Amino acid sequence: MKDQLESIRQSAKEKFSSVASQVDLEALRVQFLGKKGELTGILKQMGRLSAEERPKIGQLANEVRTNIENMIAERSAQLKRLETENRLRAERIDVTMPGKAQEIGHKHPLSIVLDELKDIFAGMGFNVVTGPEVETDYYNFEALNLPKDHPARDTQDTFYISENILLRTQTSPVQIRTMEKQKPPIRIISPGRVFRSDAVDATHSPLFHQIEGLVVDKGVTMADLKGTMETFARRLYGEDSVVRFRPHHFPFTEPSAEMDIQCFSCHGEGCRLCKNEGWIEILGCGMVHPKVLQICGIDPEEYSGFAFGIGLERIVMRRFNIDDMRMFYENDLRFLGQF
């Protein structure tokens, strides 16, 4: 029995020192000290011992029990310490580490100015409408008084999907689409992408943006056109802006004009910004050609109107002093981050 007790002590020593969790430790305690445990099993057989042996074995058995209880307490404390250490290691936070900045995006410079233009025209009672970027030859040219053999088509060469379907070269087709659908009074602007097969350089891109404008009503005159364009220029460039109208030609307006703004850098003296001209071209405009009204089913004897087309990139370049149009489309954050 003495040997049995010694072997229990020995095996307890090995097992308790390697147990790896509180749950396993408890299971092991039951295995040794529980009611049906190994040590209890031996104590139950004490009755068979002689009176001489009994106290000695009893003493040894108590000693072994105390030993095992100490092993349990010691291992339990050790496990707790290990658990805490592991937790601390796993949940370690380096409060000196630099944070991850959440960068909030912002509007593209073209959108910043476009939103301003929309506000200006909304303030004058214009609605914003849009049209398709893939157009038919009819809407992009034909209905705008640019028949198949018209020489002005040469300046607006574009990308063809088929003989009669193309990427629009101008936002002017939205004029036709609007007049077909809506009876006067009409007062709309239509911003959007347009396409031309131009080679890329600092002032040309095969994709750029225009803002079309159209007003049709009874008794609309050139004075309304000039007043509206002048008001627009003053809102955009300041109340002291000076504008001028130059005669021009567009097939879908008659008469036609281009509007220039006096260079706000040199006030007409001539400088690098205005290429020494003192004036900067801002938009094309004119009175809607009677033929165009007719094509759309609007009687030119009863109604008249004016139209205009603004190049967005040009205005934004002047506004922010950008000298290369390619910057708008390259998505370089060093550029975009400046607005």
Residues near ligand DAH (CB under 6 A) are: 170, 172, 212, 250, 253, 284-286, 307-309
Instruction: Name the 3-class secondary structure at 286.
Output: strand
Taking each helix axis from N to C end, the angle separating 22-33 and 2-18, rounded to the nearest 10 degrees, works out to: 170
127-128 and 186-195 as β-strands: parallel, antiparallel, unpaired? parallel
d(CA 177, CA 130): 10
Please give the angle made by the CA atoms of 315, 317 and 318, to the nearest 5 degrees. 65
- In the bound state with ligand DAH, the residue whose beta carbon lies nearer, of 64 and 167, is 167
Contacts of 237 (CB under 8 A, 6+ apart): 261, 264
- In the bound state with ligand DAH, the residue whose beta carbon lies nearer, of 12 and 285, is 285
- In the bound state with ligand DAH, the residue whose beta carbon lies nearer, of 72 and 292, is 292
Find out whether 223 and 304 touch, Cβ atoms under 8 Å. Answer: no
Q: Minimum CB separation from ligand DAH for residue 166, in Å?
A: 14
Q: Minimum CB separation from ligand DAH for residue 211, in Å?
A: 9
Question: Which residue reads 């009994």 in tokens?
Answer: 54
Q: Minimum CB separation from ligand DAH for residue 103, in Å?
A: 37
d(CA 173, CA 246): 24
Q: Minimum CB separation from ligand DAH for residue 327, in Å?
A: 22
- In the bound state with ligand DAH, the residue whose beta carbon lies nearer, of 250 and 303, is 250
d(CA 139, CA 327): 31
d(CA 90, CA 13): 31
Q: Minimum CB separation from ligand DAH for residue 181, in Å?
A: 18
Both tokens assigned to 74: 């010691």
- In the bound state with ligand DAH, the residue whose beta carbon lies nearer, of 170 and 228, is 170
- In the bound state with ligand DAH, the residue whose beta carbon lies nearer, of 124 and 271, is 124
- In the bound state with ligand DAH, the residue whose beta carbon lies nearer, of 110 and 307, is 307
Q: Which residue is nearest to ligand DAH (CB)?
A: 309
β-pair partners for 309:
212, 284
β-pair partners for 210:
192, 311
Q: Minimum CB separation from ligand DAH for residue 201, in Å?
A: 18
Q: Minimum CB separation from ligand DAH for residue 195, in Å?
A: 11
Contacts of 9 (CB under 8 A, 6+ apart): 64, 67, 68
Find out whether 37 and 55 touch, Cβ atoms under 8 Å. Answer: no
- In the bound state with ligand DAH, the residue whose beta carbon lies nearer, of 133 and 330, is 133
Q: Minimum CB separation from ligand DAH for residue 94, in Å?
A: 59
- In the bound state with ligand DAH, the residue whose beta carbon lies nearer, of 256 and 262, is 256
d(CA 106, CA 337): 8
Q: Among residues 136, 145, 141, which one has the least CA distance to residue 164?
A: 136
Q: Minimum CB separation from ligand DAH for residue 257, in Å?
A: 8
β-pair partners for 245:
259
